[in-house]
Structure 1
Amino acid sequence: MLFSRFKNHLPTPEEALKGRPEPDFTVPDRHTVLGNPLLGPYPEGLEVADFGLGCFWGAERKFWQAEGVWTTLVGYQGGHTPHPTYEEVCSGHTGHTEAVRVVYDPKVVSYMSLLKLFWESHDPTQGFRQGNDAGTQYRSALYTHSPAQQQAAEASRDAYQQVLNSSGYGAITTEILPADTRPFYPAEAYHQQYLDKNPAGYCGLGGTGVSCPVGVAKTDD
């Protein structure tokens, strides 16, 4: 009973699993597609953005295919349990959602363009699920790394809500919070670039088919 309740309820810090001070696993050194390091510190001039849009296998592939992206890695974010495991996140007892960390060159691709890719690659109105994937770990989320990112994320949400309204969709449920309040914990090695290692693997992403009216032109962050 507790398990099913937490699949549709975000636990409080007191309810969440306690986690651990250090991860139980290591992360590979380099991206299997892009060839660059997964973990920082990253080269000067690059910027970081975090996105949650359902199962992180397909979500990561969306971003590593984008021009100007230097590296990507998947992990857990938005909850209370430090250094969780995949099984713990799937239990609903950590509060985390599946997330993709994107490291990109803002001289090549703007944050607004990445936001456009984010909004159009999933349905942000579904709450604690994405398609057939149900649970709090599949909720839509944006975790921002600067006031400029926060402002852009909120503005893009408001712009997309207008066109979704006219297309018959409901309210956007995307969580938008500063990343420094929601630490990112890398996922296990087998999750990193999963669809590169398993090209026929599961990808449950599906957008609304509604174009997002932001990020078309290159903009400054």
Structure 2
Amino acid sequence: MFFMRKKTTIPTPAEALPGRDAPIPTAERHYVSGRPLQGPYPDGMRQAVFGLGCFWGAERAFWTLPGVWVTAVGYAAGHTPNPTYEEVCSGMTGHNEVVLVVYDPNEISYERLLKTFFESHDPTQGMRQGNDVGTQYRSGVYVFDEAQRTAAEAARAVYHAALQEKGFPTVTTEIREAGPFYFAEDYHQQYLAKNPGGYCGLGGTGVSCPVGVIARSEA
């Protein structure tokens, strides 16, 4: 079946599916907090985007953190505008399953988010996480400015060194400018809050990520 084929090579823009002009309908509010999923967000909030495998479990890893205002799952780092879940799973959009994290930098640091990101998955597996295989499961940090890029590259370097000491292979995490973020369908948002016994394919390495400045509330 075309849409269920597992792809491990990102398509070129010419190969990618055409997509559509209109966004895919999604939830209006966060299922756990009740806050607006698509904004407007309060003044002073910042955004971060991470890809670390199946976004159901990935989102839960962030919405539980103090200082995180709201989270949402979606698709990023691909070519197809406004893709559907089935299209992303086909491997023909280039997108990654990602989590948008809207956070208060006065309560939690970007470095703390990076620590959660790296410790919540195995960033050495390339185009998969565990049994989930495909380009949409790759490890990625999608940055909004040079400060985020610098912090992400530093965290990747120190975690790579820590993993190498434990015998892990090379970290494959991509760090790219954050392009368009497309909200995933309603049923994917906060999936594990709606389905507590639902599938979560995430598993960390068990190696601590020695990164960054801890937010004041965590000091």
Matches within 5 A, 1:34-183: 34-179=33-178, 182-183=179-180
Distance 1:83 1:62 in 2: 25
Aligned residue among 197, 201, 204 for 1:207: 204
User: If the length of structure 1 is used for normalisation, what is the TM-score?
Assistant: 0.94
User: CA 1:38–1:164 in structure 2 vs 1: closer, same or farther (change >3 Å)?
Assistant: same
Write the letter of the residue equivalent to 2:7.
K
Instruction: Write the distance in 2 (CA, Å) between the matches of 1:147 and 1:16.
Output: 29
**Contact 1:6 1:93 (C-alpha < 8 Å) held by counterparts:** no
Range 188-197 or range 209-218, more displaced:
209-218
CA distance in 1, matches of 2:123, 2:114: 12
**Kindly tell me: are residues 74 and 5 of structure 1, through their superposed partners in 2, closer, same or farther at Cα, counting changes over 3 Å?**
closer
User: Using a 3 Å threshold, how does the CA distance of structure 1 residues 4 and 65 change in structure 2: closer, same or farther?
Assistant: closer
| Conserved? CA contact 1:34–1:64, under 8 Å | no
Distance in 2 of aligned mates of 1:75 and 1:3: 18
Within 2, Cα distance between the matches of 1:84 and 1:112? Answer: 30
SS class of match (1:21): coil
Q: CA deviation at 1:3?
A: 7.1
Alpha-carbon shift at residue 40 of structure 1 (Å): 2.4
Count of residue pairs the alignment pairs up = 216
AA aligned opposite 1:130:
Q
Tell me the distance in 1 between the aligned counterparts of 2:109 and 2:57.
21
* 1:29 equivalent in alignment to 2:28: yes
1:68-124 C-alpha deviation (Å, 9 max, x unpaired): 000000001110000000000000000001000000001000000000000000000
Give the letter aligned to residue 16 of structure 2.
A
C-alpha contact 2:106 2:215 (8 A) present in aligned 1: no
**Distance across 1 between alignment mates of 2:154 and 2:22:** 36
Relative to structure 1, the CA distance from residue 202 to residue 5 in structure 2 (aligned partners, 3 Å threshold; closer, same or farther) is closer
Give the whole-Å Cα distance in 2 for the aligned partners of 1:75 and 1:206: 20
The structure 1 segments of at least 4 consecutive aligned residues displaced by more than 4 Å after TM superposition are 1-6
TM-score, normalisation: structure 2? 0.95
**Could you report, residue by residue, the CA deviation over 1:46-75 in whole angstroms, capped at 9, with x for unpaired residues?**
000000000000000000001100000000
Q: CA deviation at 1:2?
A: 8.0
Asked whether the 8 Å contact 1:72–1:100 carries over to 2, the reply is yes
C-alpha distance in structure 2 between counterparts of 1:190 and 1:215, whole Å: 34
In the alignment, which residue of structure 2 is the partner of 1:7? 7
Residue among 184, 188, 191 paired with 2:185 = 188
State the Cα distance separating 1:5 from its structure 2 match.
7.9
What residue identity is the alignment partner of 1:20? R
Unaligned 5+ runs, structure 2: none
Mapped contact 2:91–2:135 kept (Cα < 8 A): yes
